[in-house]
């Protein structure tokens, strides 16, 4: 049972921080939501409701804010948890994907033994902006030839059209800006 919380209320509880981490970015700070017990469990419940019949075997979550809700969602779905991390953080052998940012590049890594061919995956992050990060993550996941990849975000910045980079996937976001 998903307890009733209005999406508008939830949206209002996200703090906007102008010019963080750099000038011109309006940062969506979700810590103001996460600290409220009823909102935290509402987000987890609402996400579990979407995926509970999809036979998700692993939640693949992107460092670092993707880990927070992702861990709770994984436990509730009865799925395993797989981290995708920034370079040099994972201790064993990794697959690596470099991708372009507005200025420069960034890199994501996943353990080589993290996923099996039969897995049905739910890729999760806190927020979809331009889609570059999630797209790079899907490229890492394809190397494992999983059965299916679903994608979920807590928030999506619709005006940045990140979804267009992820056009071939089944995507859901709880909050849209």
Minimum CB distance to ligand AMP smaller for 58 or for 65: 65
Among 42, 47, 59, 65, binds ligand AMP (CB under 6 A): 65
CA distance 160 to 172: 16
Does residue 15 contact residue 39 with C-beta atoms inside 8 Å? no
Residue among 63, 76, 102, 163 flagged as catalytic: 102
127 lies in the site for ligand AMP, by CB under 6 A: yes
Q: Are strands 58-62 and 15-18 parallel, antiparallel or unpaired?
A: unpaired
Q: Two tokens at 71?
A: 């861990």
Among 69, 90, 124, 133, binds ligand AMP (CB under 6 A): 133
Does residue 59 contact residue 81 with C-beta atoms inside 8 Å? yes
- Asked if 93 is an active-site residue, the reply is no
Does residue 99 contact residue 127 with C-beta atoms inside 8 Å? no
Q: Any idea which residue has 């975000």 for tokens? A: 153
Region of 73-81, 113-121, 122-130, 138-146 interacting with ligand AMP (CB under 6 A): 122-130
The contact mask relative to ligand AMP for 17-56 (x = CB under 6 A, - = no) is --------xxxx----------------------------
- Asked if 65 is an active-site residue, the reply is yes
Size of the site for ligand AMP (CB under 6 A): 17
Q: Residue length, the chain?
A: 177
Does residue 118 contact residue 147 with C-beta atoms inside 8 Å? yes
162 lies in the site for ligand AMP, by CB under 6 A: yes
Least Cβ distance, residue 100 to ligand AMP (angstroms): 10
Among 131, 138, 141, 166, binds ligand AMP (CB under 6 A): 131
- Check residue 22 and report its DSSP letter: S
In degrees and rounded to multiples of 5, residue 64 shows phi and psi of -110, -30
Q: Which residues are catalytic?
A: 65, 102
The residues of the shown chain that bind ligand AMP, judged by CB under 6 A, are 25-28, 62, 65, 125-134, 162
């Amino acid at each position: 049972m998903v307890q009733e919380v209005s999406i508008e209320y939830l949206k209002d509880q996200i703090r906007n921080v102008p010019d963080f981490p750099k000038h011109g970015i309006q940062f969506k700070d979700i810590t103001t939501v996460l600290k409220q017990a009823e909102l935290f469990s509402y987000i987890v419940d609402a996400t579990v409701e979407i995926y509970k019949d999809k036979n998700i075997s692993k939640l693949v979550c992107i460092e670092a804010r993707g880990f927070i809700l992702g861990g709770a969602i994984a436990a509730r779905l009865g799925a395993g948890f797989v981290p995708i991390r920034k370079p040099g953080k994972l201790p064993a052998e990794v697959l690596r994907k470099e991708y372009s940012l507005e200025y420069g590049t960034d890199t994501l890594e996943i353990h080589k033994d993290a996923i099996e061919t039969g897995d049905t995956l739910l890729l999760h992050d806190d927020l979809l902006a331009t889609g570059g990060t999630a797209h790079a993550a899907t490229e890492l996941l394809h190397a494992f030839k999983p059965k299916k990849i679903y994608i979920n975000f807590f928030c999506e910045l619709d005006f940045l059209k990140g979804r267009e980079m992820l056009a071939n996937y089944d995507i859901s976001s709880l909050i849209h800006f």
